[in-house]
Amino acid sequence: MSDENRILTKEEAEAIKAKFDRESNVRIFSGVYSIVITALLVLYAGYIYWYTLIGNLPEQVRRTSFIACLIFLGFMLFPARKGMTKRENYIPWYDFVLAIVGSGAFLYYSFNFQEIVFRATNIRPQDVYIGLIGMLVLAELCRRVVGIPILVVAGGFIVYAIFNGLSYGAPIYNVIRRIVHQLFYTTEGIIGVPTGVASTFVVLFIFFAAFLEKSGIAKFFIDLANSVAGASSGGPAKVAVIASALLGLITGSSVANTVASGPVTIPAMKKTGYRAEFAAAVEAASSTGGQIMPPILGAAAFIMAEITGIPYLTIAVAAIIPALMYFIGVFMFVHLEAKKTGLRGLPKESLPKFGPLVLRGGYLLLPVGVLVFLLTRGFTPAYASCGAIVAVIIVTCFRKETRFTKATLLEAIVAGARNSLGVGVVCAVAGTIIGIVTLTGLGQTLIGLLISLVNNPFLVRINASLFVALIFTAISCLILGLGVPTTAKYVIMATITAPLILHAGAEIGITVPLLAAHMFVFHFGTDADITPPVGLASYAAAAIAKSNPLLTCCIAAKLAIAGWILPFFFVFSPEMLFIGATPFTMIKIIFTCVVGMFNIAVGIEGYLLQKMFWPWRIVVIIAGFLLIAPSLMTDLVGIGITAAVFFIHVMQYKRNKLLKGAAA
């Protein structure tokens, strides 16, 4: 195996992860320092479990104390710059100051919340200064943990609020005082719904994921994917698709998903014959799809349930068909590319056998089953995740190599605590966007602009008003989601773009289901992870494959074509989300969508049994869109066109084969 196609070491994979996933860029500790940091993380984990399962703290106290913990631990773990992680056991003095001052600002609220709530909007100058300090320190921690993009978005909203207040002639101090009160001292800002959900459901599911990872389930998923698809045409690429879909069950980041399986799947794809850019794109597109996989949906499902009031289980079930369609779409592109370029799979003798593999490691899936069972029995996500963690510990006792020791148990707790810091911080910062939209009425302004667009006489005449509004919203989601983690993306989309869809539909007399609107913006926000020019998952995969990042982004966007098409049909055909669906409609939707996606893949790849002439490619793509469209007439026309084109193609293939045989 050439050096370029070798499997990356764990250290190399972690270095790539730290480069593109800032949450992995943590300080290195040993000796006494390691013991102290580990103890702090364990205490933090214990506090979360106490106030979630036993404690009865007021909501404001719970949320502010949670953020105080995030800030203190965050400045202990995350350096100001990436290169500073190379120096072991080093925490500069100013990080201690920021940790104490920042956490102190939120603890000030915790210990004085009754007085602060009693005074309502009548906050004192010292409250304003303390609130400003807390917000600025939180912003600096967010820069370290997540990066600049979300701060640019949140900062833009705050600047808008300042100028909006000044435009009414208010003194600058009064404007800032009003903003600080809204963002720091109410439950419509930093300690709003995102922080509330992150501090309970999301954090506990992150702990569950950490325990699952320590059980060795990631390796089991990759081996399982190899046993199912490794020997087929272009097998390693199909393995990447299946493994990333399975890893989406436990990871909350497309970059983390990419780095978990990419070091194995990308070199295998390149060795088989896939070009570097395509191999990286397959991994990036598949790993990004992991964020829409139920039951967790990149941890956004819990926030969606809280914001919309729709039961969590309903959301998880609604996500099943779209997730399957997404991965089927990627799988089809991979298969056609393999056939077109004549790529073969891996030798069967080198792959694990499915039956023995499932018997040997299938029990690792039991905790996921326990989680789903508890959720369906009416348990809250918090209690269900705790039960699932207990199940992980129990089932791993079946085999010596997976059994938890004191060391691995501690590692799982520490990993869960550390991984939860980034999600908590980003949810707190995302809360500022909700606060500003509520404070300024910006949402109504944007809705007014969109209403003027959908009421355009020409669009109304051709019945395209809602479709154009969805295009506008999709572009907004892609721009706002660039470089932003999954949970924060959804908070931004739910606050700004989801209401646009609902009001645009109402304006022209179409009732768009609430879940359909939120699923639409969530899917497009997720797609930003592979979208040029800064798709983080594509860049991480390109670093592993040593490929061109921008070209990787473009190919990944092509492979994820289902991610660009299906969200529109959440709105026009909500049965895809099990909204008002019957068994017959679900069978029809699944069949027509699969055939439609296959048509689109064939048309874009330009290959079925042999290369396809471009006029037929266009016709096949049109037939694909007709099949996905929610109408019996379009389905019948689409099936008719598909049958005719494929029949002609098969006849041409047989004729060419006969001619080649005669010539031989």
* Two tokens, residue 268: 């295998």
Handedness of CA 225, 226, 230, 236 (dihedral sign): positive
pLDDT tens by residue, 187-206: 989 999 889 988 888 888 88
If pLDDT is split at 50, 70 and 90, which confidence band does 297 have? confident
244 and 114, same structural domain? Answer: no
| d(C-alpha 457, C-alpha 471), whole Å | 18
The answer as to whether 242 is a domain residue is yes
179 and 203, same structural domain? Answer: no
Helix (H) or strand (E) holding 131: helix 125-145
* Two tokens, residue 100: 């104490």
| d(C-alpha 72, C-alpha 484), whole Å | 23
If pLDDT is split at 50, 70 and 90, which confidence band does 38 have? very high
217 and 102, same structural domain? Answer: no
| d(C-alpha 634, C-alpha 640), whole Å | 10
Amino acid at 513: P
| d(C-alpha 435, C-alpha 513), whole Å | 25
| d(C-alpha 619, C-alpha 468), whole Å | 24
The answer as to whether 244 is a domain residue is yes
3-state secondary structure of 605: helix
| d(C-alpha 419, C-alpha 25), whole Å | 11
- Residue whose tokens read 């999954």: 486
The neighbour count for residue 204, using CB atoms within 10 Å, is 27
- pLDDT of amino acid 36: 95
* Two tokens, residue 442: 């910006």
Examine the pLDDT at 137 and tell me if it is beyond 90.
yes
Examine the pLDDT at 47 and tell me if it is beyond 90.
yes
The arithmetic mean of pLDDT across residues 60-64, rounded, is 94
275 and 181, same structural domain? Answer: no
The answer as to whether 5 is a domain residue is no
Q: Which of 194, 207, 289 is nearest to 247 (CA)?
A: 289
309 and 264, same structural domain? Answer: yes
If pLDDT is split at 50, 70 and 90, which confidence band does 1 have? very low
Q: How many domains does the chain have?
A: 3
Which of 13-22, 41-50, 351-360, 504-513 is predicted with the least confidence, judged by mean pLDDT? Answer: 13-22
- pLDDT of amino acid 20: 56
The answer as to whether 59 is a domain residue is yes
| d(C-alpha 444, C-alpha 645), whole Å | 48
Q: Which residue segment(s) compose the domain that 61 sits in? A: 11-190
Alpha-helical segments (H) within 319-353: 320-341
28 and 121, same structural domain? Answer: yes
The arithmetic mean of pLDDT across residues 603-608, rounded, is 87
Q: 338 to each of 42, 223, 233, 551, how far by Cα in Å?
A: 48, 21, 6, 19
pLDDT tens by residue, 276-286: 888 899 888 88
The arithmetic mean of pLDDT across residues 35-50, rounded, is 95
Which of 249-263, 297-311, 543-557 is predicted with the least confidence, judged by mean pLDDT? Answer: 249-263
pLDDT tens by residue, 402-415: 888 889 999 999 99
263 and 166, same structural domain? Answer: no
Calculate the CA dihedral of residues 344, 345, 350, 356 and round it to 10 degrees. Answer: -150
63 and 32, same structural domain? Answer: yes
Calculate the CA dihedral of residues 269, 274, 277, 281 and round it to 10 degrees. Answer: -60
Which of 254-263, 286-295, 314-323 is predicted with the least confidence, judged by mean pLDDT? Answer: 254-263
Written in H, E and C, the secondary structure of 612-637 is: CCHHHHHHHHHHHHHHHCCCHHHHHH
Point out which residues pair with 617 in neighbouring strands: none
DSSP secondary structure, 240-303, as one string:
HHHHHHHHTTT-S-HHHHHHHHHHHHHHHHHHHT--HHHHHHHHHHHHHHGGG-TTTTTTHHHH
- Residue whose tokens read 């699952």: 212
39 and 90, same structural domain? Answer: yes
The answer as to whether 321 is a domain residue is yes
* Two tokens, residue 630: 């929610």
pLDDT tens by residue, 218-256: 888 888 888 888 888 777 888 888 888 887 767 667 777
Cis amide prior to 457 (ω within 30 degrees): no
Q: Which of 146, 163, 190 is the last residue of a domain?
A: 190
Q: Which of 399, 419, 439 is the last residue of a domain?
A: 419
3-state secondary structure of 80: coil
147 and 229, same structural domain? Answer: no
Q: How many residues does the chain have?
A: 664
In the chain, % of residues over pLDDT 70: 94
Q: Which of 386, 337, 82, 373 is nearest to 234 (CA)?
A: 337
If pLDDT is split at 50, 70 and 90, which confidence band does 565 have? confident
Do 388 and 416 form a contact (C-beta atoms < 8 A)?
no
Q: Which of 396, 419, 442 is the last residue of a domain?
A: 419
- pLDDT of amino acid 45: 94
| d(C-alpha 39, C-alpha 207), whole Å | 16
The answer as to whether 439 is a domain residue is no
Cis amide prior to 295 (ω within 30 degrees): yes
Do 109 and 90 form a contact (C-beta atoms < 8 A)?
no
- pLDDT of amino acid 19: 58
The answer as to whether 327 is a domain residue is yes
299 and 180, same structural domain? Answer: no
202 and 90, same structural domain? Answer: no
- pLDDT of amino acid 403: 84
If pLDDT is split at 50, 70 and 90, which confidence band does 177 have? very high
Q: How open is the CA angle 468-470-475, to the nearest 5 degrees?
A: 100
| d(C-alpha 230, C-alpha 244), whole Å | 14
Examine the pLDDT at 13 and tell me if it is beyond 60.
no
pLDDT tens by residue, 418-442: 988 988 998 899 899 889 988 988 8
DSSP state of 611: B
Do 403 and 397 form a contact (C-beta atoms < 8 A)?
yes
The answer as to whether 125 is a domain residue is yes
Q: Which residues contact 174 (CB under 8 A, 6 or more apart)?
A: 165
- pLDDT of amino acid 608: 85
Examine the pLDDT at 450 and tell me if it is beyond 70.
yes
Q: How open is the CA angle 161-167-172, to the nearest 5 degrees?
A: 65
pLDDT tens by residue, 139-164: 999 998 888 888 888 899 999 999 99
Q: Which of 569, 567, 531 is nearest to 288 (CA)?
A: 531
Q: 239 to each of 292, 348, 358, 470, 545, how far by Cα in Å?
A: 18, 14, 16, 34, 16
- pLDDT of amino acid 544: 86
The arithmetic mean of pLDDT across residues 68-85, rounded, is 88
